[in-house]
Structure 1
Amino acid sequence: MKKTIIHIIPLLLLALSISNSTTAQDIHFSQFFEAPLLRNPSLAGIFTGDIRAQIVYRDQWNSFTNAFKSGSFNAEYKMPIGKGDDFITAGLQMLYDKAGTVSLTSSHLLPAINYHKALSSERNMYLSVGFMGGIVQKSIDRSKITTDNQYDGGAYNPALADGETFINSNYMYADGSVGASFNSSFGEEQKNNLFFGIAYHHLNRPSNSFYRSANAALHPKWVYSAGVRFNVNDQGFFNLQADYSTQGTADEIIGGAMYGYKIGDPETPDYTLYGGFFIRMKDAIIPAMKIDYNPFSIGLSYDVNVSQLKTASQGRGGFELSVTYIGFLDRDNSSKFKVMCPRF
């Protein structure tokens, strides 16, 4: 186990040490690990349970502008398939984001499906392939737009046309993502877990423009993810997570670690408390805490801005709250009774 950990930790730290830019086109969360389908649709169903539902809410940059308010909801249902140890997961990702004076609003409805293929009959080792696709709607409040055309002799005149040529203040498009991941248990009594994956988002390159211009197509986004959870002793463990994303000319690296401590029986703890921090390279340091009280988890994090905006933002970035529910269903083929099951 020690040799495995020694090799994994430097890889995650190396991923945090290189970056060209932290600007990205897509919505992102500091608690990225609580929105797995946004990372990679093949991460659906990789948890200990039959069902999972997660909510993440983000409130960003209240200190100097109209805040960005973002919300993510994902739900997953996992069930065995066939006579072996294979599983299939059906999921749903919903996303909402509202930003700026003109209330630029995005709403996403994205069903997902993921197949987990068992690679070993002796330990949890799975290769998962997932797809997610659905509808995205975007809108703005055109009445709040102010342009140069509306100034008459230096004075603002709202009766004048804004000069913009787009007709509709909202539009819709289809969007899709694919991904693959590998996850496995390791170490003494196979109590530790690791995963890594790769995802390709916006595979259909939808037009992202109120003018409906083909030149405004969304750039495809690659996301490379990795994580490891390993025990320190019966009560304590570390959970390390990292993502590297690249989209067009922009890229982003985020990662870090949380230490978890079980209160009560290590097998069925009353509570599990977590504390740690994450780093979004060249942008923010993110302290985070979390508590598990079966079957719920609640997480809190806050971005401390270290980018060029830190003077205007006074170092303040985004607050996030996450709530997770994971449970087993009362059924004969529940994963609760399966020796082999994809989990992290």
Structure 2
Amino acid sequence: MYLGNKLTVKKLGILISCFLYFQLEISAQDIQFSQFYANVLYLNPAFAGSAHQTRVIGHQRLQWPRLDAKYITSSFSIDHFFTKTKSGLGLMVLRDVQGSNIISSTEISMQYSYELILTSKLAFRAGAQGTYASRYVNYSYLKFPDQYTVDGFTGQSTQEPFGHNTVSYFDVSVGGILYSDKFWAGVSVYHMNTPNQSFYGDASNLPVKTTFMGGYRFDLSPKNDRSRVQDDEVTLTPTFNYKAQGKSDQLDLGLYGIYHHLMLGMWYRGIPVKHYNKGLQNNESIVCLIGWKIRGLRLGYSYDFTVSKLSLGRTGGSHEINITYIFSKPPKKKKPIKKIPCPDFK
């Protein structure tokens, strides 16, 4: 089997092994989710408590399933809003496995947010996050070029030096969101303390990640339909999510629509006008979303169609599944609390 008539499967395996090895020594990049607004506590700590009720989110991403270097990321989060103090609290647990269990990481994060009403139509939320992270590497799964000959893999011991198997660190992040009943715009800054994540003891600091996000919701429901309830909404919402970390940056740009219970969306990921090297555009994927919502339950599935040169490797794209449940409260006579007009599949 060949890729581009030159790259055999054996050579591809060597390249992947080298890539994973050097990844242990350089500054890694954060995980990115296609359904970024569905996994809101990962997107911005200011979203903690944004549903103004108790919310539980389960999220999983499977990236490049046809390659040995596939990534499997699972997260679980729960958050709640406290009306008297206008504060939100959130807890998020994230587990990431890279390269067929070669490298894995576990993160436990706590978020706090505070809501400030600026005017009758404008509000602001500020949030902070503390994270304990632990990374693990299994060197026995790695294969290096000095273990190969013209006859293939020899199985002999490599001369490459190994470091520690585990490394742990504490991480600090902040975020803020400005919003009305039609639009929202926010920024989040992760890894403000640039923690050292090296397995070798040398400095390999996790670079600061800055994210800008926003959107505007168009209500397409009949204006005279006063009997309409939340599950009968018809809306169209363009959104963007720009991420910059170290030398890398990407833009998610697209829109999603809600028609009663059905949700459909499409995004483009990349910056086509930017070239990292000659002939190498910043194109990553096209993301398609389908979902269903009924009362407090949200279900979403998305698939990433790879459009970069990585598609030559037949990666299998990426799959994401999101399950969100918002616990309802008994109706009250007093004025309802203002809510962030974020995508309704959150």
Map 1:82-121 to 2 at 5 A. 82=85, 87-101=86-100, 103-120=102-119
Which amino acid is the alignment partner of residue 297 of structure 2? F
For residues 101 and 31 of structure 2, the distance between their equivalents in structure 1, rounded to whole angstroms, comes to 17
Distance 1:257 1:293 in 2: 21
Alpha-carbon offset, residue 181 of structure 1: 1.1
Aligned 8 A contact 1:45 1:342 in 2 = no
1:184 aligns with 2:173: no
Paired position in structure 1 for 2:327: 327
Shift of 1:44: 2.0
Amino acid at match of 1:196: A
How do 1:210-225 residues align onto structure 2 when only pairs under 5 Å count? 210-214=199-203, 216-225=204-213
- DSSP-derived class of the 1:38 partner: helix
User: Is residue 54 from structure 1 mapped to residue 57 from structure 2 by the alignment?
Assistant: yes
**1:76-225 to 2 correspondences below 5 Å:** 76-82=79-85, 87-101=86-100, 103-120=102-119, 122-123=120-121, 125-148=122-145, 150=147, 158=155, 160=157, 162-166=159-163, 168-185=164-181, 193-214=182-203, 216-225=204-213
TM-score by length of 1: 0.79
Q: 1:151 to 1:219 in 2, by over 3 A?
A: same
User: What letter corresponds to residue 40 of structure 1 in structure 2?
Assistant: N
Letter in 1 for 2:238: L
* Alpha-carbon distance in structure 2 between the residues aligned to 1:156 and 1:236: 58
Q: 2: CA distance between counterparts of 1:156 and 1:130?
A: 51
The structure-2 alpha-carbon separation of the partners of 1:327 and 1:153, relative to structure 1 and needing over 3 Å to count, comes to closer
Q: How far apart, in 1, do the equivalents of 2:259 and 2:152 lie?
A: 62
> Are 2:243 and 1:242 equivalent residues in the alignment?
no
Normalised TM-score (structure 2): 0.78
Q: 1:230 to 1:283 in 2, by over 3 A?
A: same
Gaps of 5+ in 2: 1-27, 223-232, 271-282, 342-346
Give, in angstroms, the shift of residue 36 of structure 1.
1.4
d(CA) in 1 for partners of 2:89, 2:142: 41
User: Which AA in structure 1 matches 2:336?
Assistant: V
Q: Distance in 2 between matches of 1:45 and 1:304?
A: 33
2:158 and 2:319 mapped to 1: Cα distance? 38
2:37 counterpart SS class: helix
Flag the structure with more relative contact order, 1 or 2, with Cα contacts below 8 A and sequence separation at least 6: 1
- Contact 2:139-2:162 within 8 A present in 1 as well: no
What SS does the aligned partner of 1:309 have?
helix
The 4+ residue runs of structure 1 with deviation greater than 4 A are 148-159, 334-338
Residues in 1 aligned to 2:308 and 2:110: alpha-carbon distance in whole angstroms: 35
- 2:70 aligned with 1:70, yes or no? no
Instruction: Tell me the distance in 1 between the aligned counterparts of 2:101 and 2:264.
Output: 37
For residue 77 of structure 1, what is the amino acid of its counterpart?
H
Cα–Cα, structure 1 residues 78 and 337, in superposed 2: closer, same or farther, change >3 Å? farther
Q: Name the structure 1 match of 2:292.
A: 291
- Judging changes above 3 Å, is the alpha-carbon distance between structure 1 residues 301 and 227 closer, same or farther for their aligned structure 2 residues? same
1:40 corresponding residue in structure 2: 44
Evaluate the alpha carbon distance shift between residue 302 and residue 335 of structure 1 in structure 2; reply closer, same or farther with a 3 A threshold: farther
Contact 1:133 1:175 in 2 (8 A): yes
Q: Which runs of 5+ in 1 are unaligned?
A: 1-23, 186-192, 263-271
Amino acid in structure 1 at the alignment position of 2:29: Q
Identity fraction in percent:
26
Question: Aligned equivalents of 2:334 and 2:32: distance in 1?
Answer: 36
